[in-house]
Amino acid sequence: MRAFVVLSSVFLLLFSLLLYPFCNYFEAKYQKFFFLDGTKIYNLSKEIFAKQEFIYNKSKNKNFNKEIEAVVKCCMK
């Protein structure tokens, strides 16, 4: 019984590792079908990102953004 559990676990692990590259391929190939283009959620998220970009551009010259950018650059290295 223990051998069956171990062998089935190993088989599932190998199977998932072999299928992993195909997941990326199919995600890239069929990704256009999963976009919520033209829906209320998509339009709302577009508005939110536009407001965030507007706020960032308005306060671009302030020290606050410079400190945030310095922290982000430091953490991204």
**What pLDDT is stored for residue 54 in this prediction?**
75
pLDDT at 7: 92
Q: What pLDDT score was predicted for residue 18?
A: 81
Query: How far is C-alpha 55 from the geometric centre of its chain's CA atoms?
Result: 23
pLDDT in tens, 16-70: 888 777 777 777 766 665 566 666 777 777 788 887 777 777 666 666 666 667 6
Q: Tell me the C-alpha distance between 27 and 20, whole Å.
A: 11
- Give the span between the Cα atoms of 32 and 38, in whole angstroms: 13
